[in-house]
Chains A and B, each alone.
Chain A
Amino acid sequence: MSDPKVIGILGAGRVGTAIARRALAAGYEVRVASSRPAADIALVLQFTASGAVAADADQVIAESDIIVLALPLSKYRSLPAGALRGKIVIDAMNYWAPTDGTLPEFEGAPSSSEVVADYLDGARLVRSFNHMGYHEIDGDARPAGDPDRRGMALAGDDPAARKAVAGFIDRLGFDPVETGPLASARGFAIGTPVFGAGLKRTELKSALRIPEAA
C-alpha cells in the first residue's frame, strides 16, 4: 500500500491519547473512537490531542490506514471484527489480571495478542506498543539517530503490515525492532525482561536474541 496517512485509534484513555498526540506530532491525520459518544471524546481530545477528530468506531475504521487498539483488553469483544477485516491493526493491549479481572481465555494463553488475532479473523494484526508505558510513549519519542532513541518491538504474521507499522513507529520517534510472526510477541509480553525496561534498539535486539544484521 502507499504510505499510511490516517491513523485510527480505538480507545481515548491514557494509551490512546498518548499515541494520538505522537501521531499528530509526526504529521498523521488522527481519528479517535471510544465507547463514549463522539461529542464527549471531542471534548477530551480538545485538550489531550488537539487536532485529532472524534468519530464513531465504524467511521474511524473505514477512514484510517492503520487502526490502533488502545481499549481495555477486557472489552476486546466489543470490537467490530467484520469492519477490521483486511485492515492493518496494531494491538497495544495487555492482559493484566489485577485490573482486568480473570479472563479465562487469556489465562495460560500463549500471548494475549494471539487470542485477539483469533477473534479479529482476517485483520492484519501487528503486536506493538504494549511493552512501553503510556507516559514513555509520550515522553521518550526521539528523532531518528538520537543516541537516546528507544526501541519498540513489533510482531505480526503479515510482512506488509509489519513494514507499514514499522514505518509508523519510526515516524512516531522509536526504532522499530521486528521480531517476526505474531507468536514471537511472546518475547516481549508482560513478565518478560524487556517489558517496561525502556531499552534502546541494540539492547532490545540483544535481549530478544535478534542478530544485529537482521
Chain B
Amino acid sequence: MELGVYSFGDVQRDPKTGELGSTAQAQRNLLEAIQLADEVGLDYFGIGEHHTREMPASAATVILGAAASTTRNITLGSAVTVLSTDDPVRVFQQFATLDALSNGRAEITAGRGSSTESFPLFGHSLNDYDDLYAEKLDLLLRLNDSEEVTWEGRFRPSLDKALVVPRPENGTLPIWLATGGNPNSSVRAAIAGLPVSYAIIGGEAERFGPLAQLYRQAVAQVKVPGADTRVSVASPGFVGEDAKAAKDLWWNHYHEAFRALGEIRGFPAPQRAGYDRDANGKGALFVGSPEEIADRILDLHRVMQHDRHFFQMDLGQLGQKDFLRSIELLGTRVKPLVDAALAEKAPATADVE
C-alpha cells in the first residue's frame, strides 16, 4: 500500500521564540518536507489548495514543480484542487507541465474544497457550488481525454477545437475525485470511472468501509472501460517515537488549528476527551507511535482495502522539526511494518479469491 503526506502549507511557530513564521517560509518548509518524504521512501505527497493566513498553500503546482526536479520517485499531487473556482484548462496545463517535469509523477485530486475562501477571491458565487463543480469536472475530464477539445458551458468561454498542451507523459493524468463521505459522491466517482479519495477527518474511520464497498459495487455495475478504480484515504495524523508523547504534542497543535477554524465557522474549540477518543482505537486521528499507526492503517485496510493512505501532519503551527521527524518515521518505521503485514496476507487473499 502507498503511504504519504498531505498539507495545506501550515505557517509554523518557532517553539523557542514563539514567533509566527511567514507565509513565504511555509512554502519553503513544504518543499523541504516533500524532499524528505521522497528520501525516506514515501509514495505520495499532496498539497491542498488553501487560502488562509494559517494555511497559505494557494499555488500547489509551483511548489510541486520545484519538488519535481529535486525528488526521484514520489508521486506529486493536489489534495485537493478547488476545481469549482479554477479554470480547468489552466489546472490541466499546470499539472500536465508538472507531469512533464517529474517524468509522469503528477496527479490531480479534484474537489469542491472545504476552504471556500477561493469563491469570493476568484469571483464565483457559493450559490453555484454544485453546478460549478459538475461543469468544471466535466471539462477537466474532457481535456484529459484529448488534446483538442470542443466544449460549451455556463461558467467559462466555450472552446472550439481548442488545442490544450502540454500533454501528460503517460497520455493521461490520474484524476481522483475527493469526497468527505457523502455516499452520492462515491457513486459519482464510479460512474465517471475515477479513483476516489476519502477524507476521513472525524468520528470512527471504519464508517467509511461501506462507502468503499458502495464505490466498488457501483464500479462493477457501470463498468467504464479503462476506469481507474483505486481508493485512497486522507486523514489527520502524526507519528512520534512514543505514543503518549506524540498524542500530547499533537493535541496542542490540533487544538489551535480547530479553535481558529471554529471561530470562523461557528463551532466550539475541540476538547481533549473528544481528541483522545478520535486518536485512540478506531477514530479518524492517526496519532501515535509507528507500531500503533501501522496497526491502525492495517485495521482500516481490512474494511476498506484502500490502495493509499496519506496524512495531514502539520497544522496549528507544528514545528518544522516535528513535522519532518513524523515524515521520517512514517517512511522508515510505519511503511515497512505495513508492507510486511500486507505481503504476508497477500497469498491467503489470493487463495480465497
Residues of B close to A198: CB separation below 8 A: 271, 274
Do A47 and B217 touch (CB < 8 A)?
yes
Q: Given A43-B214, A48-B183, A99-B116, A135 and B202 touching (CB < 8 A)?
A: yes
> Is A87 an interface residue when CB atoms closer than 8 A count as contact?
no
Do B183 and A99 touch (CB < 8 A)?
no
Do A13 and B128 touch (CB < 8 A)?
no
Give bound CA distance, A48 to B214, whole Å: 8
Do A47 and B128 touch (CB < 8 A)?
no
Q: Residues of B at under 8 Å CB distance from A? A: 116, 125-129, 180-184, 187, 202-204, 207, 210-211, 213-214, 217-218, 221, 262, 265-268, 271, 274
Residues of A close to B184: CB separation below 8 A: 12-13, 34, 36, 40, 44
Q: Which residue of B lies closest to A103 (CB)?
A: B127
Residues of B close to A12: CB separation below 8 A: 183-184
> Is A59 an interface residue when CB atoms closer than 8 A count as contact?
no
Give bound CA distance, A197 to B270, whole Å: 8
Q: Which residue of B lies closest to A45 (CB)?
A: B183
Q: A43-B221, A102-B126 are in contact. List 12 more A-B contacts (CB 8 A).
A: A13-B182, A14-B183, A44-B187, A46-B214, A47-B214, A48-B183, A98-B116, A100-B129, A135-B203, A138-B204, A196-B262, A198-B271
Residues of A close to B129: CB separation below 8 A: 99-101
Do B203 and A138 touch (CB < 8 A)?
yes
Give bound CA distance, A44 to B221, whole Å: 13
Give bound CA distance, A196 to B202, whole Å: 12
Report the minimum CB–CB distance from A107 to chain B (whole Å): 13
Residues of B close to A46: CB separation below 8 A: 214, 217
Give bound CA distance, A43 to B213, whole Å: 11
Q: Which residue of A lies closest to B210 (CB)?
A: A47
183-214 of chain A: CB within 8 A of chain B: 190-191, 193, 195-198
Q: Given A47-B183, A47-B217, A101 and B126 touching (CB < 8 A)?
A: yes
